[in-house]
Amino acid sequence: MMRTVAAVAVAVLLAAAVAAEASSLKVGYYDKSCRGVENVVKWHVARAIKANRKSGAALVRLIFHDCFVRGCDASVLLDPTPENPNTEKTAPINIGLAAFDLLDDIKSAVEDRCPGVVSCADILIFAARDAASLLSNGHVHFDALAGRLDGVHSHAAEAQQDLPDSTFTIAELIQNFKRKNFTIEELVILSGAHAVGVGHCSSLRARLTAPADQILPAYRGLLAGKCAKGPDPIVPNNIRDEDAGAVAAAVPGFLPKLRKVKDFLDN
C-alpha cells in the first residue's frame, strides 16, 4: 500500500510537469530513433532495485528534486565545474540525493545503443516511472511522454529557494506548491512519496523535541535512539527507514499514520 502511494505521487508529479512543458512531448518518442530504449532503462532499474530497494526510492526523490526547480530537464544531474561550482547537486537541500551512479550506467548503456539520441532528462523520467512501477509491484504504471531537452543551467541557489524544506509548516508547504501550480490535493499525494526510502536525521532533528500532540512520544523516543549519534546526515548509520510501520506498530495507510501523529517530518 505504502509503495503504491509513492508510485501515485510520481505519476501526479509527472502529469503536472508535462502540463507545463512543450506540446512536442509524446509517448513513443524514440520508437524510430532508439527503438527499445525504455526496455534498456527498465532492465537497469529493475536490476538495481533487486540489489537494493533504496535505489528505487532514490530515483523517486531525484525526479521531484529535478522537476520542481526548472522543470524536468535533468539539471539536478549536472556536476559542478570551475565555471559553475554551485550546481543544484551541491545545494544543502539536495544533500543525500543518490542514484547518480545508476543513472550514469543507464546513460552509458543507452549511448552504446543510440549515441547522442536520448536526453538525460528523458532517461530520468523513464527511470523514475519504472522505479514507481516496480516499487508498487506493478499496481501503478503509465506511459511516459518523452522528447525533452537537457538543461544547461543549474544553480544551487535556485534549488535552495524552490524546493520545500523538511521543516516547513503546512501553510508554508501550501504556498510553496501553489507557486508551482500544485493544488493542496496534489501536495498531499506527493507527500506520499515519503512512504518509501530513508530519511536523514538532519531533516528530523526538530521532531525530537516536538510536543506529544505533534508526534507520538514512543515514536519520538524511537527516532531519538536512531539519531543519537553521527554528525554527518548522510552516513548510512545516521539514516532511518521512513516507513514507521517497519520499526513500530504498523498503522495501515499513509493518511491514517499522519492522523495518528506518526510522521517524523514537521510537514
CA 5 to chain CA centroid, Å, is 13
- Other C-beta atoms closer than 10 Å to the C-beta of 51 total 10
Q: State the Cα–Cα distance between residues 56 and 10, nearest whole angstrom.
A: 12
Q: State the Cα–Cα distance between residues 173 and 175, nearest whole angstrom.
A: 5
Q: State the Cα–Cα distance between residues 216 and 49, nearest whole angstrom.
A: 32
Quick: pLDDT tens for 136-182: 888 778 899 999 999 999 999 999 999 998 888 889 999 999 999 88
State the cell numbers at 64: 521531484
pTM (whole model) above 0.75? yes
Q: Would you say 126 and 38 are in contact if contact means Cβ atoms under 8 Å apart? A: yes
State the cell numbers at 44: 537497469
75 appears as a binding residue in the annotation: yes
Mean pLDDT of the chain: 80
- Show the beta-strand stretches assigned E in the chain: 26-27, 145-146, 198-200, 239-241
Q: What is the pLDDT of residue 252?
A: 39
Which domains occur in the chain, in start order? 2-162 (1.10.520.10), 197-267 (1.10.420.10)
Quick: pLDDT tens for 49-79: 999 988 998 998 999 999 999 999 999 999 9
State the cell numbers at 219: 515514536
Does 244 score more than 80 pLDDT? no
194 appears as a binding residue in the annotation: yes
Give the residue among 70, 58, 52, 68 at the shortest CA–CA distance from 6: 58
263 appears as a binding residue in the annotation: no
Q: Is 141 a catalytic residue?
A: no
Q: What is the pLDDT of residue 224?
A: 76
Annotated catalytic residue within 44, 65, 155, 200:
65
